[in-house]
Amino acid sequence: MTAPMATERSESVGGTAVQQGQIISTPPSDVLDRTQVGGFLRWLRAERGLDLGGHDELWEWSVDDLAGFWSAVWEYFEVRSHAELADGAPYSTVLTGRELPGTRWFTDAAINYAEHALDGWADPDEVAVLGRSQTRPDVELTVAELRDRVARARQALERLGVRRGDRVVGYLPNIPETLVAFLATASLGATWASCASEFGPRSVIDRFAQVEPTVLLVAAGYRYGAKDIDRRGQIAEIRAELPTVEHVIDVEYGDHRVEDALSWSGLLAAEDGGDPVFEPVPFDHPLVVLFSSGTTGKPKAIVHGHGGILLEHLKNHAFSWDMGPGDRMLWFSTTAWMMWNALVSSLLVRSSIVMIDGNPMYPDVAWQWRLAAETGATVMGASPGFVMASRKEGLDLRDGSATGGRELAVRTLGSAGAPLPPEGYAWLAEQLPGAMINVGSGGTDVCSGIVQNNPLLPVYAGEISGRALAVDAHAYDEQGREVVDELGELVITSPMPSMPVGFWGDADGSRYRAAYFDHFPGVWRHGDWIVFHENGSCHVAGRSDATLNRGGVRLGTAEFYRVVEEVDGVADSLVVHLEDPDGGNGELLCFLVAESGEVDDALRGQVVAALRTALSPRHVPDRVIGVPVIPRNLTGKKLELPVKRILQGARLEDVASRDALADPASLDAFVAMAAR
């Protein structure tokens, strides 16, 4: 395998060119004195006698001594267990072994995620939740108000018959009502699952039917930018296909109502409220079911436990994102993406959250930046697409023109979901001087980051700074050997607490093992194509199932997109490789959406020249084809594999559900192409 050639493109920051892999910032000299991870290192020295100088030593210890690291996280954050063990210990063992799969964590512990989100705040009058929406006026909840609403929601669900182990699901947007329902469900020991309101009925049914819910919460409508969206018809279809649902609750968001549903406000008003009660459950008791995209088959129902999400997010939020009391996170997400769970978990470290619902680019690209300035967000998430769109728009975040005259308080800028080109790093470094740029990659499967930055690491243009703490991540070649400075499969060789408890309905664990452990027995294969460098930085080159293989040389799709989408006139792109069954080079196809609406020979020539110059002759596509839209799923990821399978002759209904597409018609051009 050969790593793709580094691009020669550069971006100017303060008059200095920035190239791929170049350091654009380093940790300040006092980093250990003023960061959460620095406080943890001081605590380890005082309480455990461990003198770890920086990231490399801390990471090595975190993966070598899993029991030591995770027990330290438990102690440092004062995780509360209600276990009734003879010796008064909070648990029996940290982990039962290092085998994958099968490791059990914190045996005999009795905990509750919601307790840690809601208890222990210093000031009950502190604002914990800010709801910002294009559907209704702003909503804000203090800690005391949030606790009271969760208590009322728990009492209401209990009155409706919800018990430990039952499933409660929400067909809901990212609003405070969704948060309250989730925490109330968790407090009961019931299990939560959610789908975003823009999902079509078939996508919702394919997900919710797997977990057989007893209660369904819905929003009958909402506004998306200037458009009024009525979901009552979709809700009726969903209800008809979920026979286990005993109660439907309308959260009364927007102007529409489900007439025969229970009233959320009425249910809460009928209860006493007060302090919420929390059901202690085992460490691996199901907290939430997250679903895979469903664009290449039936969505996987991935079960995450109370303890795994609690410990992983305590570690991630404090030590990677540097969050603690007084911080505020704004990260645009729908309720269908794992980033929603990460947003909510800010409460674990006593940070408040901004919940955004609506069109993220309405009325203009600067809307999210204005919200960040208005709400005083100190941690902000910005997708690579949003960063690049802001750059392309020429926004200036320093003079107040893009932020409504307010100054940004952002000191950590997170980005995930796709690779961020060097140009994006350079733009952020110039626009947010002093802020930590934290680009990472992880996924629904572990509900966290696998590789990302933290305050102890430098920032490298176009690359991810390093491995997340306690994540034993590496790149493997086809024979299962570790490779450095070469493309390989992203693998994890040691257990993580937030690896799934399992898949819902997979009683013998066969589907779970097949999804992650069949390729390299005993090793988690994540499905991403990655390069780790000697200095510990890395970059994700795309999904390994979409790898481009020409004449035995493997190429990552991300390398294409970085180059192609910087060509003037290109709005979006997608690349697939159709292999030759006889062993030839096959056919490399590049699909373009042009800003002008038409892909002409001049634009094709520019794309070919850019790929040949910046990458290599092997990157030059055999054909460059114009299409009206690039297919993406509802979280914005490009769908290379469904396109490839359609062009190879598969039926659309066998490779993707239209309900799982951001644009339901986005695959039609490829179906027509295959027919020709």
* Residue 582 confidence class, pLDDT cut points 50, 70, 90: low
What spatial distance separates the first Cα and last Cα of the chain, rounded to whole Å? 34
Structure tokens at 305: 């436990």
Q: What's the pLDDT at 612?
A: 85
Buried residues in 429-448 as b, exposed as e (16+ CB within 10 A): bbbbeebbbbbbbbbbbbbb
Q: What percentage of the chain carries pLDDT values higher than 90?
A: 80
d(CA 307, CA 77): 13
DSSP symbols for 121-162: -S-TTSEEEEEEESSSS-EEEEHHHHHHHHHHHHHHHHHTT-
DSSP symbols for 111-131: B-HHHHHHS--S-TTSEEEEE
d(CA 557, CA 391): 22
Instruction: Tally Cβ neighbours within 10 Å of residue 571.
Output: 14
Average pLDDT, the chain: 92
CA distances from 294 to 6, 191, 199 (A): 33, 21, 12
At residue 217, does pLDDT exceed 60? yes
- Region 103-120 average pLDDT: 98
- Region 186-213 average pLDDT: 95
Domains and CATH numbers, the chain: 7-69+319-329+350-545 (3.40.50.12780), 115-280 (3.40.50.980)
Structure tokens at 611: 């790929």
The kind and range of the H/E element at 250 are strand 247-250
Q: What's the pLDDT at 551?
A: 56
d(CA 322, CA 330): 14
CA 112 to chain centre: 23
d(CA 39, CA 544): 38
Highest average pLDDT, of 44-48, 567-571, 576-580, comes from 44-48
At residue 8, does pLDDT exceed 60? no
Q: Are strands 286-291 and 301-305 parallel, antiparallel or unpaired?
A: antiparallel
Helix, strand or coil, per DSSP, at residue 323: coil
CA 502 to chain centre: 19
Q: Which of the 8 DSSP states describes residue 546?
A: G
- Region 78-96 average pLDDT: 95
E strands, 463-544, are 473-476, 487-492, 502-503, 524-532, 538-543
DSSP symbols for 396-453: -SSSSTTTTTPPP---EEEE-SS---HHHHHHHHHHSTTPEEEE-EEETTTTEEEE--
Helix, strand or coil, per DSSP, at residue 617: helix
- 8 Å CB contact between 143 and 165: no
- 8 Å CB contact between 622 and 587: yes
Q: What's the pLDDT at 5?
A: 30
At 490-500, the pLDDT tens digits run 999 999 999 99
CA distances from 63 to 51, 55, 471, 525 (A): 16, 12, 7, 17
d(CA 575, CA 595): 18
Q: What's the pLDDT at 105?
A: 98
- 8 Å CB contact between 223 and 359: no
At residue 3, does pLDDT exceed 50? no
E strands, 461-535, are 473-476, 487-492, 502-503, 524-532
Q: Is the dihedral of CA 619, 621, 627, 633 positive or negative?
A: negative
CA proximity to 43, closest of 19, 78, 1: 78
Structure tokens at 596: 């002008």
Q: What's the pLDDT at 41?
A: 98
- 8 Å CB contact between 231 and 219: yes
At 603-635, the pLDDT tens digits run 999 999 998 887 777 778 999 999 999 999 877
CA 63 to chain centre: 23
Q: What is the largest CA-CA distance in the chain?
A: 77
DSSP symbols for 335-380: TTSHHHHHHHGGGGGT-EEEEEES-TTSS-TTHHHHHHHHHT-SEE
d(CA 643, CA 22): 35
At residue 505, does pLDDT exceed 80? yes
Within 281-337, residue ranges assigned H as helices are 306-315
Please tell me the pTM assigned to this model: 0.88
At 9-30, the pLDDT tens digits run 334 444 456 888 999 999 999 9
Cα–Cα–Cα angle for 382, 316, 66, rounded to 5 degrees: 150
Non-local (6+) Cβ contacts of 67 within 8 A are 93, 94, 95
d(CA 599, CA 587): 20
